[in-house]
Amino acid sequence: MGLNYQLVLWNNHKKTYDKLIVLGMLLYIILFAVVTLVFNSETSIETLVIRAFGSLAIIMLHIILVIGPLARLNSAFLPILYNRRHLGVSMFIAAFIHGGFSMFQFHALGDVNPIYSIFISNMDYGSLTDFPFQVLGFLALLILFVMASTSHDFFLGNLSAKTWKRLHMMVYAAYALIIAHVFLGAFQQETSPFTIGILVFGFILVSSLHLITAFKEGHIDTAKTEEKEGWLKVCDISEIEEDRAKIFTVEKERIAIFKYDGKLSAIHNVCKHQGGPLGEGKIIDGCITCPWHGYQYLPANGQSPPPFTEKVATYELKLDGKTVYINPKAFEEGTEVNPCKI
C-alpha cells in the first residue's frame, strides 16, 4: 500500500463524491426557498431556514441508511459506502443548522437557559399528541454530533473497531428519535398527506432493505455443519473461487476462508478499520483486501503489511480429499499459520 499513491487517488474520487453532496444540498435549499417564496411568500426567513434544513437532513439520513444494506446486497454499491462519512457529516451540518435555528428561535432570549428550556417548556411528557417533540430532536442531534465528531480515523485508532461500530449503530436510535420528532411534532400541525407519505415510504424502504439483508445474511450464520474430532466441515474446495473467500460461522464469529495460489488460509472476517466483511474482499498483490476501504492483511498471519499494524485472528485449516475442515479455535491476532496446500 503506497501511502502517497493512496492519498492522491482517494482525493480524486472523494472530490467527485463531495461535489455531488454539495450540489445535492444546494439544489435542495434553493428549490425549497424558491417554491416557498413563489407560493407562500408570507413566510419568515427563520421558518424557511428551519424547515428547509430539517427536511433536507431527514432526506439525507434516508439516503445514508439505504447505502449499508444496498452495499451488502450488491457489491457494486461498495464505493458509496466507502465515503459515507462525508455524507454523514454533511447531514449532521444540515441537522445542526435546523436544530440550532430552532433552539435560537424558540428558546433563546428567554428567562432560562435555551437547552434547559427545550426540556421544560412543554411538560406534556405523558401525552402523545402534545409530546415535547423538540426534546426528541435534541437527543437525536446529540447522537449525530457524537457520530460526526468521532467519524475521523483518529478515533478508530483510539476507540477500537467494536466500540466505534457500536457508537455508529446509534444512528438507528437517532433515526427512530427523528421519526418520532417529526410525527409527534410538525406533522401534528402541518399535516399533508404528501409529506407524511414520503416519510412513511422512506421508513418502509429503509426497514425492508435492512430486513432483507438480515434475512440473507442469517443464512450464512445458520448453515449446518458436521464435527469430526474438533474439526468442522466447511465446504467442498470447489465452492471457493480463486482469490476469493467463503464466509463460515462458528458460534456467531464469522471466519473468512480464502483460496489463492494453490493454498487456503482462514482469518477472522471482521476488518479492524470499520468492521468491513473481509470475506467479501479479494486477494490483491498477495494481500486480503477489505471491500470497504481497501485495508490489507496477509493471509498467512492476519497482519497488515508494514508500515501498517492492524492484526486479525487466524485459524487452522485441513483438507480431507476435496473437503475443507477448520479448527474453530482462533489463534491470537496476527499468529502465523501455515497455509493449507491444495
For residue 282, give the 3-state DSSP assignment: strand
In terms of Cα–Cα distance, which of 311, 293, 305 is closest to 6?
293
* Half-sphere CA count of 28, side-chain side, radius 13 A: 19
Q: Is the dihedral of CA 244, 249, 250, 254 positive or negative?
A: positive
Of 182-190, 230-238, 254-262, 323-331, the window that binds other proteins (rule: CB under 8 A) is: 182-190
d(CA 297, CA 301) in angstroms, rounded, equals: 8
d(CA 28, CA 49) in angstroms, rounded, equals: 12
286's CB contacts (< 8 A; 6+ apart) are 260, 261, 298, 299
The residue among 57 and 340 lying less far from ligand HEM, judged by its C-beta, is 57
> Which residue type sits at 29?
I
The residue among 105 and 249 lying less far from ligand HEM, judged by its C-beta, is 105
Q: Establish if 132 lies at the interface with ligand HEM (CB under 6 A).
A: no
The grid cell for 305 is 503489511
d(CA 57, CA 179) in angstroms, rounded, equals: 12
Identified binder of other proteins from the candidate list 93, 105, 157, 327, rule CB under 8 A: 105
The residue among 40 and 160 lying less far from other proteins, judged by its C-beta, is 40
Q: Establish if 292 lies at the interface with ligand FES (CB under 6 A).
A: yes
Closest distance to other proteins from the beta carbon of 180 (Å): 14
Of 83-91, 261-269, 274-282, 316-324, the window that binds ligand FES (rule: CB under 6 A) is: 274-282
Q: Establish if 87 lies at the interface with ligand HEM (CB under 6 A).
A: no
The residue among 55 and 151 lying less far from ligand HEM, judged by its C-beta, is 55
The alpha-carbon radius of gyration of the chain (Å, integer) is: 24
Q: Which residues pair with 185 in a beta bridge?
A: none
The residue among 71 and 179 lying less far from ligand FES, judged by its C-beta, is 71
Residue 297: alpha-carbon gap to chain centroid? 22
In terms of Cα–Cα distance, which of 135, 151, 62, 141 is closest to 98?
141
Q: Establish if 143 lies at the interface with ligand HEM (CB under 6 A).
A: no
Identified binder of other proteins from the candidate list 126, 154, 194, 341, rule CB under 8 A: 194
Q: Establish if 138 lies at the interface with ligand HEM (CB under 6 A).
A: yes
Q: Establish if 140 lies at the interface with ligand HEM (CB under 6 A).
A: yes
Q: Establish if 264 lies at the interface with ligand FES (CB under 6 A).
A: no
Q: Establish if 271 lies at the interface with ligand FES (CB under 6 A).
A: yes
329's CB contacts (< 8 A; 6+ apart) are 230, 315, 316
Q: Establish if 295 lies at the interface with ligand FES (CB under 6 A).
A: yes
The residue among 114 and 339 lying less far from ligand HEM, judged by its C-beta, is 114
Of 54-62, 252-260, 264-272, 318-326, the window that binds ligand HEM (rule: CB under 6 A) is: 54-62
Q: Establish if 190 lies at the interface with ligand HEM (CB under 6 A).
A: yes
Output the furthest CA–CA distance in the chain (Å, rounded): 80
Closest distance to other proteins from the beta carbon of 111 (Å): 4
Q: Establish if 22 lies at the interface with other proteins (CB under 8 A).
A: no
List residues binding ligand FES (CB under 6 A). 271, 273-276, 290, 292-295
